[in-house]
Structure 1
Protein backbone atom coordinates (compact mmCIF):
# COMPACT_ATOMS: atom_id res chain seq x y z
CA UNK A 1 0.00 0.00 0.00
CA UNK A 2 1.21 3.40 -0.80
CA UNK A 3 1.78 5.59 2.18
CA UNK A 4 0.58 8.75 0.52
CA UNK A 5 -2.99 7.53 -0.20
CA UNK A 6 -6.02 7.76 2.09
CA UNK A 7 -6.12 5.41 4.97
CA UNK A 8 -9.10 3.07 4.50
CA UNK A 9 -10.70 1.04 7.21
CA UNK A 10 -12.76 -2.13 6.88
CA UNK A 11 -16.52 -1.71 6.46
CA UNK A 12 -18.48 -2.74 9.53
CA UNK A 13 -22.16 -3.55 9.06
CA UNK A 14 -24.25 -2.51 12.06
CA UNK A 15 -26.01 -5.33 13.91
CA UNK A 16 -29.66 -5.47 12.80
CA UNK A 17 -32.04 -7.98 14.31
CA UNK A 18 -33.46 -10.52 11.88
CA UNK A 19 -37.00 -10.03 13.25
CA UNK A 20 -37.17 -6.32 13.87
CA UNK A 21 -37.90 -3.89 12.25
CA UNK A 22 -40.07 -5.73 9.79
CA UNK A 23 -40.24 -4.88 6.14
CA UNK A 24 -43.47 -3.20 4.89
CA UNK A 25 -44.64 -6.40 3.22
CA UNK A 26 -44.62 -8.23 6.54
CA UNK A 27 -46.60 -5.42 8.17
CA UNK A 28 -49.16 -5.71 5.38
CA UNK A 29 -49.35 -9.48 5.83
CA UNK A 30 -49.81 -9.09 9.60
CA UNK A 31 -52.57 -6.53 9.06
CA UNK A 32 -54.35 -8.86 6.62
CA UNK A 33 -54.07 -11.77 9.03
CA UNK A 34 -55.45 -9.63 11.86
CA UNK A 35 -58.36 -8.47 9.69
CA UNK A 36 -59.09 -12.07 8.65
CA UNK A 37 -59.02 -13.21 12.30
CA UNK A 38 -61.44 -10.44 13.31
CA UNK A 39 -63.77 -11.22 10.39
CA UNK A 40 -63.73 -14.92 11.23
CA UNK A 41 -64.47 -14.20 14.88
CA UNK A 42 -67.40 -11.94 13.98
CA UNK A 43 -68.75 -14.52 11.51
CA UNK A 44 -68.54 -17.39 14.01
CA UNK A 45 -70.13 -15.35 16.80
CA UNK A 46 -73.04 -14.29 14.57
CA UNK A 47 -73.54 -17.86 13.40
CA UNK A 48 -73.56 -19.13 16.98
CA UNK A 49 -76.02 -16.40 17.98
CA UNK A 50 -78.30 -17.32 15.06
CA UNK A 51 -78.21 -20.98 16.05
CA UNK A 52 -79.10 -20.04 19.62
CA UNK A 53 -82.01 -17.98 18.22
CA UNK A 54 -83.29 -20.96 16.20
CA UNK A 55 -82.92 -23.31 19.17
CA UNK A 56 -84.70 -20.83 21.44
CA UNK A 57 -87.50 -20.61 18.89
CA UNK A 58 -87.88 -24.38 18.99
CA UNK A 59 -87.80 -24.56 22.80
CA UNK A 60 -91.57 -24.02 23.04
CA UNK A 61 -92.16 -26.89 20.64
CA UNK A 62 -89.96 -29.22 22.68
CA UNK A 63 -91.73 -28.16 25.86
CA UNK A 64 -95.15 -28.74 24.30
CA UNK A 65 -94.07 -32.16 23.05
CA UNK A 66 -92.80 -33.14 26.50
CA UNK A 67 -95.96 -31.80 28.13
CA UNK A 68 -98.06 -33.83 25.67
CA UNK A 69 -96.12 -36.94 26.61
CA UNK A 70 -97.08 -36.33 30.25
CA UNK A 71 -100.72 -35.25 30.01
CA UNK A 72 -101.79 -36.22 26.47
CA UNK A 73 -103.35 -32.81 25.78
CA UNK A 74 -103.25 -32.69 22.00
CA UNK A 75 -105.12 -29.39 21.82
CA UNK A 76 -102.46 -27.62 23.91
CA UNK A 77 -99.75 -29.07 21.69
CA UNK A 78 -101.59 -27.98 18.54
CA UNK A 79 -102.04 -24.46 19.89
CA UNK A 80 -98.37 -24.12 20.85
CA UNK A 81 -97.10 -25.58 17.58
CA UNK A 82 -99.47 -23.40 15.56
CA UNK A 83 -98.35 -20.33 17.47
CA UNK A 84 -94.70 -21.15 16.72
CA UNK A 85 -95.41 -21.62 13.02
CA UNK A 86 -97.33 -18.33 12.93
CA UNK A 87 -94.52 -16.52 14.74
CA UNK A 88 -91.82 -17.81 12.36
CA UNK A 89 -94.00 -17.12 9.33
CA UNK A 90 -94.60 -13.56 10.53
CA UNK A 91 -90.84 -13.17 11.07
CA UNK A 92 -90.14 -14.22 7.47
CA UNK A 93 -93.16 -12.64 5.77
CA UNK A 94 -95.10 -10.04 7.78
CA UNK A 95 -98.03 -10.28 5.33
CA UNK A 96 -98.68 -13.87 6.42
CA UNK A 97 -99.97 -12.82 9.85
CA UNK A 98 -103.55 -12.44 8.65
CA UNK A 99 -103.75 -15.35 6.21
CA UNK A 100 -105.85 -18.48 6.60
CA UNK A 101 -106.95 -21.46 4.56
CA UNK A 102 -105.39 -21.92 1.13
CA UNK A 103 -103.57 -18.59 1.32
CA UNK A 104 -101.95 -19.68 4.59
CA UNK A 105 -100.88 -22.99 3.04
CA UNK A 106 -99.36 -21.12 0.07
CA UNK A 107 -97.51 -18.75 2.40
CA UNK A 108 -96.07 -21.70 4.35
CA UNK A 109 -94.97 -23.36 1.12
CA UNK A 110 -93.40 -20.13 -0.12
CA UNK A 111 -91.37 -19.67 3.07
CA UNK A 112 -89.92 -23.22 2.96
CA UNK A 113 -90.52 -24.43 -0.61
CA UNK A 114 -89.22 -27.99 -0.34
CA UNK A 115 -91.16 -28.92 2.81
CA UNK A 116 -94.55 -30.60 3.07
CA UNK A 117 -96.82 -28.11 4.81
CA UNK A 118 -99.95 -30.25 5.10
CA UNK A 119 -99.35 -31.03 8.79
CA UNK A 120 -98.59 -27.39 9.53
CA UNK A 121 -101.74 -26.19 7.81
CA UNK A 122 -103.74 -28.84 9.69
CA UNK A 123 -102.49 -27.37 12.99
CA UNK A 124 -104.36 -24.17 12.26
CA UNK A 125 -107.65 -26.06 12.09
CA UNK A 126 -106.89 -28.62 14.82
CA UNK A 127 -106.50 -26.08 17.57
CA UNK A 128 -110.15 -25.03 17.20
CA UNK A 129 -111.68 -28.51 17.22
CA UNK A 130 -112.96 -30.16 20.39
CA UNK A 131 -110.62 -33.10 19.80
CA UNK A 132 -107.45 -32.71 17.78
CA UNK A 133 -106.63 -35.90 15.90
CA UNK A 134 -103.02 -35.29 14.90
CA UNK A 135 -99.91 -37.43 15.25
CA UNK A 136 -97.93 -35.35 17.71
CA UNK A 137 -94.54 -36.95 17.03
CA UNK A 138 -94.74 -36.56 13.25
CA UNK A 139 -96.26 -33.10 13.52
CA UNK A 140 -93.49 -31.97 15.89
CA UNK A 141 -90.86 -33.30 13.47
CA UNK A 142 -92.55 -31.54 10.55
CA UNK A 143 -92.80 -28.27 12.46
CA UNK A 144 -89.15 -28.45 13.53
CA UNK A 145 -87.95 -29.22 10.01
CA UNK A 146 -90.06 -26.38 8.59
CA UNK A 147 -88.85 -23.90 11.21
CA UNK A 148 -85.21 -24.81 10.61
CA UNK A 149 -85.69 -24.42 6.86
CA UNK A 150 -87.62 -21.16 7.27
CA UNK A 151 -84.97 -19.71 9.56
CA UNK A 152 -82.05 -20.77 7.39
CA UNK A 153 -79.60 -17.89 6.93
CA UNK A 154 -79.50 -18.20 3.14
CA UNK A 155 -82.94 -16.64 2.77
CA UNK A 156 -83.40 -13.32 4.47
CA UNK A 157 -86.92 -12.58 3.18
CA UNK A 158 -89.62 -14.13 1.08
CA UNK A 159 -89.82 -12.72 -2.43
CA UNK A 160 -92.69 -10.32 -2.90
Structure 2
Protein backbone atom coordinates (compact mmCIF):
# COMPACT_ATOMS: atom_id res chain seq x y z
CA UNK A 1 0.00 0.00 0.00
CA UNK A 2 2.87 2.31 0.57
CA UNK A 3 3.93 2.05 -2.96
CA UNK A 4 0.57 3.24 -4.07
CA UNK A 5 0.78 6.30 -1.82
CA UNK A 6 2.08 9.24 -3.91
CA UNK A 7 3.05 11.23 -0.80
CA UNK A 8 5.64 8.65 0.14
CA UNK A 9 7.55 9.42 -3.03
CA UNK A 10 8.04 13.10 -2.18
CA UNK A 11 11.45 14.31 -1.06
CA UNK A 12 12.45 17.15 1.26
CA UNK A 13 12.84 20.68 -0.11
CA UNK A 14 16.39 21.33 -1.31
CA UNK A 15 17.81 24.83 -1.12
CA UNK A 16 19.86 25.74 -4.20
CA UNK A 17 23.60 26.24 -3.76
CA UNK A 18 24.54 29.85 -3.09
CA UNK A 19 25.81 31.81 -6.07
CA UNK A 20 29.50 32.71 -6.33
CA UNK A 21 30.81 36.18 -5.97
CA UNK A 22 31.52 36.39 -9.69
CA UNK A 23 30.05 37.86 -11.83
CA UNK A 24 28.80 40.67 -9.63
CA UNK A 25 25.34 42.08 -9.92
CA UNK A 26 24.80 44.99 -12.36
CA UNK A 27 24.61 47.49 -9.50
CA UNK A 28 28.18 46.67 -8.47
CA UNK A 29 29.38 47.26 -12.04
CA UNK A 30 27.70 50.68 -12.07
CA UNK A 31 29.25 51.53 -8.71
CA UNK A 32 32.70 50.44 -9.92
CA UNK A 33 32.42 52.58 -13.05
CA UNK A 34 31.28 55.57 -10.99
CA UNK A 35 34.19 55.20 -8.54
CA UNK A 36 36.72 54.90 -11.37
CA UNK A 37 35.26 57.94 -13.15
CA UNK A 38 35.35 59.95 -9.92
CA UNK A 39 38.96 58.94 -9.28
CA UNK A 40 39.97 59.98 -12.80
CA UNK A 41 38.19 63.34 -12.46
CA UNK A 42 39.88 64.03 -9.11
CA UNK A 43 43.31 63.02 -10.46
CA UNK A 44 42.92 65.31 -13.49
CA UNK A 45 41.77 68.21 -11.29
CA UNK A 46 44.68 67.77 -8.87
CA UNK A 47 47.17 67.59 -11.73
CA UNK A 48 45.79 70.72 -13.39
CA UNK A 49 45.89 72.61 -10.11
CA UNK A 50 49.49 71.54 -9.48
CA UNK A 51 50.47 72.65 -12.97
CA UNK A 52 48.61 75.94 -12.56
CA UNK A 53 50.41 76.61 -9.26
CA UNK A 54 53.89 75.42 -10.28
CA UNK A 55 55.02 79.04 -10.55
CA UNK A 56 53.90 79.57 -6.95
CA UNK A 57 56.13 76.79 -5.63
CA UNK A 58 59.12 78.17 -7.54
CA UNK A 59 58.42 81.72 -6.35
CA UNK A 60 58.07 80.60 -2.73
CA UNK A 61 61.36 78.74 -2.92
CA UNK A 62 63.09 81.75 -4.48
CA UNK A 63 61.59 84.04 -1.86
CA UNK A 64 63.00 81.80 0.87
CA UNK A 65 66.42 82.06 -0.78
CA UNK A 66 66.10 85.84 -0.87
CA UNK A 67 65.08 85.85 2.78
CA UNK A 68 68.19 83.88 3.69
CA UNK A 69 70.42 86.51 2.12
CA UNK A 70 68.38 89.56 3.13
CA UNK A 71 70.38 92.77 3.10
CA UNK A 72 69.38 96.40 2.96
CA UNK A 73 70.84 97.00 -0.50
CA UNK A 74 69.25 98.26 -3.67
CA UNK A 75 70.31 95.05 -5.45
CA UNK A 76 68.42 92.90 -2.94
CA UNK A 77 65.27 95.00 -3.39
CA UNK A 78 65.70 94.79 -7.18
CA UNK A 79 65.88 91.00 -6.89
CA UNK A 80 62.74 90.97 -4.73
CA UNK A 81 60.85 93.16 -7.21
CA UNK A 82 62.04 90.97 -10.09
CA UNK A 83 60.72 87.91 -8.26
CA UNK A 84 57.35 89.60 -7.67
CA UNK A 85 57.23 90.70 -11.30
CA UNK A 86 57.96 87.16 -12.56
CA UNK A 87 55.20 85.87 -10.33
CA UNK A 88 52.82 88.55 -11.57
CA UNK A 89 53.62 87.62 -15.17
CA UNK A 90 52.83 83.98 -14.42
CA UNK A 91 49.61 84.81 -12.55
CA UNK A 92 48.30 87.76 -14.60
CA UNK A 93 49.72 87.42 -18.15
CA UNK A 94 46.74 89.20 -19.70
CA UNK A 95 47.42 92.38 -17.67
CA UNK A 96 51.04 92.61 -18.91
CA UNK A 97 52.68 93.41 -15.55
CA UNK A 98 56.15 93.26 -17.13
CA UNK A 99 55.61 96.75 -18.53
CA UNK A 100 54.68 98.30 -15.17
CA UNK A 101 57.14 100.49 -13.29
CA UNK A 102 57.04 103.00 -10.47
CA UNK A 103 53.60 104.01 -9.22
CA UNK A 104 51.82 101.76 -11.74
CA UNK A 105 53.72 98.74 -10.35
CA UNK A 106 52.88 99.78 -6.77
CA UNK A 107 49.20 100.18 -7.69
CA UNK A 108 49.21 96.76 -9.37
CA UNK A 109 50.74 95.08 -6.31
CA UNK A 110 48.25 96.75 -3.98
CA UNK A 111 45.31 96.01 -6.27
CA UNK A 112 46.16 92.31 -6.49
CA UNK A 113 47.11 92.03 -2.82
CA UNK A 114 44.64 89.85 -0.89
CA UNK A 115 44.14 92.20 2.09
CA UNK A 116 45.60 95.05 4.14
CA UNK A 117 45.92 97.25 1.06
CA UNK A 118 45.91 100.51 2.97
CA UNK A 119 48.42 99.32 5.57
CA UNK A 120 50.69 97.81 2.89
CA UNK A 121 50.77 100.96 0.76
CA UNK A 122 53.76 102.67 2.40
CA UNK A 123 55.71 99.39 2.57
CA UNK A 124 55.15 98.65 -1.11
CA UNK A 125 56.06 102.20 -2.12
CA UNK A 126 59.26 102.06 -0.03
CA UNK A 127 60.06 98.57 -1.38
CA UNK A 128 59.77 99.69 -5.00
CA UNK A 129 61.65 102.95 -4.37
CA UNK A 130 64.43 101.08 -2.56
CA UNK A 131 65.44 99.51 -5.87
CA UNK A 132 66.64 102.89 -7.11
CA UNK A 133 68.07 104.44 -3.94
CA UNK A 134 71.70 104.10 -2.87
CA UNK A 135 70.54 103.66 0.75
CA UNK A 136 67.18 101.87 0.79
CA UNK A 137 64.57 103.10 3.25
CA UNK A 138 62.49 99.95 3.41
CA UNK A 139 62.99 97.24 6.00
CA UNK A 140 63.74 93.79 4.58
CA UNK A 141 61.38 92.26 7.14
CA UNK A 142 58.49 94.45 5.99
CA UNK A 143 59.26 93.77 2.33
CA UNK A 144 59.44 90.01 2.92
CA UNK A 145 56.24 90.07 4.95
CA UNK A 146 54.40 91.84 2.12
CA UNK A 147 55.94 89.56 -0.54
CA UNK A 148 54.83 86.44 1.35
CA UNK A 149 51.36 87.89 1.87
CA UNK A 150 51.10 88.81 -1.80
CA UNK A 151 52.32 85.39 -3.00
CA UNK A 152 49.97 83.55 -0.63
CA UNK A 153 47.03 85.46 -2.10
CA UNK A 154 47.93 84.63 -5.71
CA UNK A 155 47.31 80.89 -5.64
CA UNK A 156 44.78 79.63 -8.17
TM-score (norm 1): 0.71
What residue is the counterpart of 1:148 in the other structure? 152
Instruction: Quote the residue 2:19 is aligned against.
Output: 16
Listed one character per residue, the Cα deviations across residues 102-150 of structure 1 (whole Å, up to 9, x for unaligned) are: 3323322332352434223432221111111211012101111101212
1:74-85 map, 5 Å: 74-85=73-84
**Aligned-pair CA distance for 1:46:** 4.5
Q: Which runs of 5+ in 1 are unaligned?
A: 154-160
Task: Identify if the C-alpha distance between structure 1 residues 52 and 124 changes in structure 2 by more than 3 Å, giving closer, same or farther.
Answer: same
Of residues 122, 127, 130 in structure 2, which corresponds to 1:126?
130
Matched, 1:66 2:68: yes
Unaligned runs of 5+ in 2: none
Alignment partner, residue 43 of structure 2 = 41
- Say how many residue pairs are matched: 146
Aligned residues of 1:74 and 1:132 also touching (Cα < 8 A): yes
Residue 49 of structure 1 deviates from its aligned partner by 5.4
Equivalent position SS for 2:22: coil
The range that moved more, 113-122 or 23-32, is 113-122
TM-score (norm 2): 0.73
Q: Give the greater-gyration-radius structure (CA).
A: 2
Describe how 1:100-139 pairs up with structure 2 within 5 A: 100-116=101-117, 117-118=120-121, 119-139=123-143
3-state SS, counterpart of residue 133 of structure 1: coil
Q: CA RMSD in A?
A: 3.0
1:45-56 matches, cutoff 5 A: 45-47=47-49, 53-56=55-58
Contact 2:85 2:98 in 1 (8 A): yes
Structure 2: how far apart are the matches of 1:53 and 1:102? 25
Q: Deviations over 1:75-111 (max 9, x none)?
A: 2320111101111222233322212333323322332
Q: Distance in 2 between matches of 1:93 and 1:36?
A: 31
